[in-house]
Amino acid sequence: MKISEKIADYIAKDKTFYSFEFFPPKTDFGTENLYSRIDRMASLHPAYIDVTWGAGGSTADKTLEMCKTIQKYFGLDVMMHLTCTNMGESSIKKILMEAKESDLSNILALRGDPPEGSLTWEKHAEGFRYGIDLVRYIRKEFGDDFFLGVGGYPDGHQEQTDINVDIKFLKEKVDAGSDIVITQLFYDIDKFFLFRDKCVKAGIKVPIIPGIMPIHNYARFLKFTQFCKVSIPNLISKQLESIKDDDSSVINYGVDQASEMGRVLIEEGVPGLHFYTLNLEHSVSEILRSLNLVSSQGIIKELPWRQSTLGDRKTAEDVRPIYWSNRTVSYLARTESWDDFPNGRWGDITSPTFGELNQYHAIRAGAKSDKVKAKRKKIWGEPKSIEDIKDVFVSFCKGEINCLPWCEMPLAHESQQISSSLINLNEMGFFTINSQPNVNGAPSEDAIVGWGGSGGRVYQKAYLEFFTSNDKLDTFLKNLKSTDNISYQAINIDGKLITNLSENSVMAVTWGVFPGKEIMQPTIVDTRSFLIWKDEAFGLWMNDWASIYDQESESFKILQEIYETYYLVNIVDNNYVDGGMMEQFFK
Amino acid sequence: MKISEKIADYIAKDKTFYSFEFFPPKTDFGTENLYSRIDRMASLHPAYIDVTWGAGGSTADKTLEMCKTIQKYFGLDVMMHLTCTNMGESSIKKILMEAKESDLSNILALRGDPPEGSLTWEKHAEGFRYGIDLVRYIRKEFGDDFFLGVGGYPDGHQEQTDINVDIKFLKEKVDAGSDIVITQLFYDIDKFFLFRDKCVKAGIKVPIIPGIMPIHNYARFLKFTQFCKVSIPNLISKQLESIKDDDSSVINYGVDQASEMGRVLIEEGVPGLHFYTLNLEHSVSEILRSLNLVSSQGIIKELPWRQSTLGDRKTAEDVRPIYWSNRTVSYLARTESWDDFPNGRWGDITSPTFGELNQYHAIRAGAKSDKVKAKRKKIWGEPKSIEDIKDVFVSFCKGEINCLPWCEMPLAHESQQISSSLINLNEMGFFTINSQPNVNGAPSEDAIVGWGGSGGRVYQKAYLEFFTSNDKLDTFLKNLKSTDNISYQAINIDGKLITNLSENSVMAVTWGVFPGKEIMQPTIVDTRSFLIWKDEAFGLWMNDWASIYDQESESFKILQEIYETYYLVNIVDNNYVDGGMMEQFFK
């Protein structure tokens, strides 16, 4: 989707937006890591994600693939870079066609850097000389199909140091059909304002977005500023010099410097900030927090889960089973072929394709590497008993480790409300993998549980999903009274099902009531997709966990025992008004 | 639908059921009146409705038509009588085929009375001699397609006075495939018990349902008992003799006598009571009340509106627009061709057939008769001014008159909660035709607003629909603040629309949350069907009201003025938790 309206809306509401720029990593392991990072950073609600074009066009396919994946699986808008370096007209056309077909509708059109190893930039025989040629070509061939950004150079261009000439060129690029200007990184804020003023004077009316690269590392900082010919204010040089050998001090300095710069830029009216993240997460998150741009307050989610931005799916899909709520990417990969959501419901749950995890495995391509195994061993240790397993689950609930095979993200903010109960449950041998507390008509603007826009009320039934032994399940079911108003489903690897739900039933566990609208019920518990989830959930014990150990090891054996004997259980407390499912559990 | 399961369910739950028997009236006016009566009596929740077969088969078409209409438009199960009188095998087969096609799956198979004018019964040349022949024929030709009832004679058969022989015949009829025995009317309860005991001894295991005809009128009582050769206990004769000239005393006596008989029958374990209503309403309602069989308490409605029993529609339809809630028959007639309810939603609202009222007019066939006009004049008077019109609406809200052109039934029980507000509104010139108060999570078992089964919670947004003048509408809209959280639609006869709802929007105004289920939202306000309702609602001013007066009369002119200048308005208070739409109105 073109981000034109989104940007216009931010500007109209005088709300500062921000975007994150990433580059395609070189290895599968790096790519998987970056996807996890982008997935987490999505919760910061960037307006869009930039993905750079490989210098010299070498990583073209990777860039396209990354853009598509981010858009499809992480529900974020994407602006894809495209450069003229080493590209003939026909290659560019092919890429633009593919981008268009894949709904990648935002392009940052650049001339590009010289290819690696070259010092000077040379035009491709059949290609374009300047960024403006690329802009003209896109507008000529594709009309208004794309939202187009171009680069701006507050510090002057590497190859054009007369700023007035440079701004004349920029004006021509904008006139040729650019929708936004994103600037090169800079540290001298006065140069940016001078640049902006000159742009305005020259009649450039599109938004001019400053590019910010937080200082992460002294050596890299020097390399970048030299490469881009970016000037460094004396004060910054002096301050950095004194701490240059202490990496964490440099990082903290970078956060403070960029935050201060951001504060002044916002004060002076820039509509947004563009962050060169260098594929790093920490600094940008800190800067946004210190600028008070991120807080769950004020950001209204359209639905409780993040929507895919993909055309049809975005507007048509409004219900998902709760089981995959901690494994969104897997759910989206499995349901990718669902282009049909009759009446906003999910597609064909009985479809034979709803078993394939190929696409997911392509995204999580690094999963089987030794590096990943080593990393996982570090997180989950080498459990030798059920007690050790308990410790892993308890650590996750305490926030001491940030993932489990079933949870790609740390414990959700809203489940933290019940984290002490969750810790107790895990200590009792109920290994929890998914949960939500009950909510009875909270305002839809609520910082933690709200969604769906303003003026509404949202509801949730308490939900808990865990693995437990046959014995513990028996005890739990025996103590369950009909008055408890609990719905449950339990199943083991062999498919033995114990439930009080009727076949093919569907129940809402999250719903909302809004002015002038139908009731929305975006999250459900349904008996049919539970059977599919069961295979995935059990599989993770072996594929994602046991597989990191030697097959003869105690760790492997204890995990295999759980896989073979435990039950996957989910329970819903139908009394969302004053139910006490958790209290019930401890009795 | 066959009532087998329903009856079995009543018996399993030890809940006494009851059924009402009607006969097809001779005139259109009588038929329309009877339909209104059945519509009202539906709220007593009979297990099914019996419709008699015309003596001699003369009213066969009428019986079939009535059965279909009751099932389709009033959402009641039907048992159709079928007799052998004057009917050849081929006619009977044709009727049974038609019944089957129309989902009329319950048949009371009788020999029938002699045709009018004859004293003795004679077998049709190609027909059947006894009820048992009809039962055998149906089972042979149609297998288990029908639920079959047969008659029983506690007082002995007119033509077979030896009760032992009669019971031997009955046993044969049951063995031939009857599912239930309904008895002839009787007043001597001991005879019924004797009959029942003998039946049981003879091995008759199907339910035996006593037939009760409340005494309405002395002369008619004598005529019936003589015709059916039914014995009258001395006490009843004596008591009736003393009050026979006072009609209302006779009616009251009939209610008391039948109530007492019903009480003893229930005590002695009969599973149900069958009422010969003689197309009358009062006595049966009173008897059921005095037996504590009817109270809104304990009767759980599946949905807030009465469902049609028609096959697909019953199971598939779960959403209706609120506009027609006081004109159900009209809604069902207009949407009759909708056999498709994708995902439980309504069918094609844009269908060209959603404008036709033909079927409705067939049901309300007496509407244009002078008798109806006279009746309406008596109810609505001859208004000469807006003040007079106000008085009519106010009288309706006060329960002084029991219908308006827009309201086929008296003010709904739940709207009575707000009746004093409604009276005020009408006095202020807002002529209300539909309303519901807000409900915030009331138990689904609630006697007045509950529906959908037990253990759930139900919700409503306050809704109000009225006609008012342009001036009053202006004032209302001017005083509306955005903080009021009110959705509104207003339209005049020319289609001038004033609304704050977006085009094609749909909002839930009644919904429910139940254990183990999706959220149900059976009543909606939607912008598209409002445009269709508007034509019907305005049309009623002229067709149902103005048309009863002379076109030159003041009454006609004042109604025409309203028709031409007023707005039809509906408003929804989105704040169902603590909204005060009514209070707001009076400020």
pLDDT 10s digits, B161-219:
688 888 999 999 999 999 999 999 999 999 999 999 999 999 999 999 999 999 988 88
| A83 lies in some domain | yes
Residue with tokens 């709200």: A450
For residues A189 and A161, the answer to whether their CB atoms sit within 8 Å is: no
Whether A503 has its CB under 8 Å from any CB of chain B: the answer is no
Question: CA B206 → CA A167, B151, B181, B191, distances in Å?
Answer: 97, 12, 7, 19
Cα B296 to the chain's mean position, in Å? 15
* Single pTM value for the model: 0.76
Look at residues A260, A290, A320 and tell me which one is the last residue of a structural domain: A290
Q: Which of A345, A501, A514 sits opposite B516 (nearest CB)?
A: A501
Count other C-beta atoms under 10 Å from residue B371's C-beta: 15
Q: Which of the pair, B273 or B45, is modelled with greater confidence?
A: B273
Tell which residue, B583, B567, B563, has the closest CA to residue B575. B583
Residues A282 and A326 placed together within one structural domain of the fold: no
Pairing of strands B431-436, B462-468: antiparallel
Reported confidence tier of residue B446, pLDDT bands at 50, 70, 90: confident
pLDDT at A369: 74
Residues A340 and A488 placed together within one structural domain of the fold: yes
Q: Which of the pair, B56 or B201, is modelled with greater confidence?
A: B201
Residue B121: pLDDT over 80: no
Residues B30 and B126 placed together within one structural domain of the fold: yes
Q: Which of B507, B516, B576 sits opposite A574 (nearest CB)?
A: B516
Q: Does ipTM top 0.85? A: no
Tell which residue, A54, A135, A57, A132, has the closest CA to residue A91. A57
Look at residues A222, A257, A290 and tell me which one is the last residue of a structural domain: A290
For residues B273 and B207, the answer to whether their CB atoms sit within 8 Å is: no
Least trusted range by pLDDT, from A490-504, B345-359, B373-387, B567-581:
B345-359
For residues B389 and B466, the answer to whether their CB atoms sit within 8 Å is: no
Residue B350: pLDDT over 60: no
Residues B283 and B321 placed together within one structural domain of the fold: no
Structural tokens at position B338: 């909708």
Three-state DSSP at A345 gives coil
Residues B173 and B318 placed together within one structural domain of the fold: no
State the residue range of the domain holding A335: 311-586
Residues of chain A contacting B508 with CB distance shorter than 8 Å: 513, 517-519
| A459 lies in some domain | yes
Residues A202 and A90 placed together within one structural domain of the fold: yes
Residues B455 and B559 placed together within one structural domain of the fold: yes
On average, the pLDDT of chain B sits at: 86
| B298 lies in some domain | no
| B299 lies in some domain | no
Q: Pick the residue from chain B with its C-alpha nearest to A527.
A: B516
| B414 lies in some domain | no
Can you tell me the distance from the alpha carbon of A276 to that of A230, in angstroms, rounded to the nearest whole number? 14
Question: CA B157 → CA A305, B112, B172, B200, B230, distances in Å?
Answer: 72, 12, 15, 18, 9
For residues B344 and B319, the answer to whether their CB atoms sit within 8 Å is: yes
Residue B344: pLDDT over 50: no
Length of chain A: 587
| A516/B487 CB distance under 8 A | yes
The per-residue b/e assignment along B104-142, b for 16 or more CB within 10 angstroms, e otherwise, is: bbbbbbbbbbbeeeeeebeebeebbeebbbbbbbbbeeb
Overall number of domains in chain A:
2
| B26 lies in some domain | yes
pLDDT at A580: 74
Over residues B388-406, the pLDDT tens digits come to 999 999 999 998 998 899 9
Structural tokens at position A401: 């480790």
Q: Which of B514, B515, B574 sits opposite A515 (nearest CB)?
A: B574
Can you tell me the distance from the alpha carbon of B343 to that of A142, in angstroms, rounded to the nearest whole number? 40
| B511/A524 CB distance under 8 A | no
Q: How far is B516 from chain A (nearest CA, A)?
A: 5
CATH of the domain at B73: 3.20.20.220
Task: For residue A477, give every residue at least 6 positions away whose Cβ sits within 8 Å of its Cβ, in sequence order, or none.
Answer: A488, A490, A498
Structural tokens at position A7: 């940007």
Whether A528 has its CB under 8 Å from any CB of chain B: the answer is no
Q: Which of A455, A506, A519 sits opposite B574 (nearest CB)?
A: A455
Count other C-beta atoms under 10 Å from residue A360's C-beta: 20
The DSSP H or E segment spanning A487 is: strand A486-492
The DSSP H or E segment spanning A31 is: helix A28-41
| B577/A457 CB distance under 8 A | yes
| B487/A515 CB distance under 8 A | yes
Amino acid letter for position A450? G
Residues A222 and A370 placed together within one structural domain of the fold: no
| A143 lies in some domain | yes
Tell which residue, B530, B541, B508, has the closest CA to residue B436. B508
Task: For residue A257, give every residue at least 6 positions away whose Cβ sits within 8 Å of its Cβ, in sequence order, or none.
Answer: A187, A214, A215, A236
Residues A517 and A415 placed together within one structural domain of the fold: yes
For residues B313 and B341, the answer to whether their CB atoms sit within 8 Å is: yes
Can you tell me the distance from the alpha carbon of B209 to that of B152, in angstroms, rounded to the nearest whole number? 9
| A300 lies in some domain | no
Can you tell me the distance from the alpha carbon of B340 to that of A151, in angstroms, rounded to the nearest whole number? 56
Residues A62 and A104 placed together within one structural domain of the fold: yes
| A519/B517 CB distance under 8 A | no
pLDDT at B565: 97
Task: For residue B15, give every residue at least 6 positions away whose Cβ sits within 8 Å of its Cβ, in sequence order, or none.
Answer: none
Can you tell me the distance from the alpha carbon of B409 to that of B529, in angstroms, rounded to the nearest whole number? 22
pLDDT at A509: 94
Can you tell me the distance from the alpha carbon of B459 to that of B462, in angstroms, rounded to the nearest whole number? 10
Residues A203 and A165 placed together within one structural domain of the fold: yes
Residues B136 and B66 placed together within one structural domain of the fold: yes
Residues of chain A contacting B501 with CB distance shorter than 8 Å: 516
Amino acid letter for position B50? D
| A516/B345 CB distance under 8 A | no
Can you tell me the distance from the alpha carbon of B453 to that of B443, in angstroms, rounded to the nearest whole number? 10
Q: What is the three-state SS of A216-281? A: CCHHHHHHHHHHCCCCCCHHHHHHHHHHCCCHHHHHHHHHHHHHHHHHHHHHCCCCEEEEECCCCC
| Pick among A507, A530, A573, A576 to test the B interface (most B CBs inside 10 A) | A507
For residues B169 and B136, the answer to whether their CB atoms sit within 8 Å is: no
pLDDT at B357: 57
Q: pLDDT (tens digit, 0 to 9) for every residue of chain A, 587 residues total?
A: 899 999 999 999 899 999 999 988 887 777 877 888 888 888 888 999 999 987 555 567 889 989 988 988 888 999 999 988 878 889 899 999 999 998 999 999 998 877 666 777 777 878 888 889 999 999 999 999 999 999 999 987 766 668 888 899 999 999 999 999 999 999 999 999 999 999 999 999 999 999 999 998 888 898 888 877 888 999 999 999 999 888 889 999 999 999 999 999 999 999 999 999 988 888 999 999 899 888 544 456 777 777 776 656 666 677 788 887 777 777 777 776 665 554 445 555 555 455 555 556 656 655 667 877 888 899 999 999 999 999 999 999 998 998 899 987 777 766 777 888 899 999 999 999 999 889 999 999 888 888 988 889 999 999 999 999 999 999 999 988 777 789 999 999 999 999 999 888 889 999 999 999 989 988 999 888 888 889 889 999 998 899 999 999 999 999 999 999 999 999 999 999 987 776 666 56
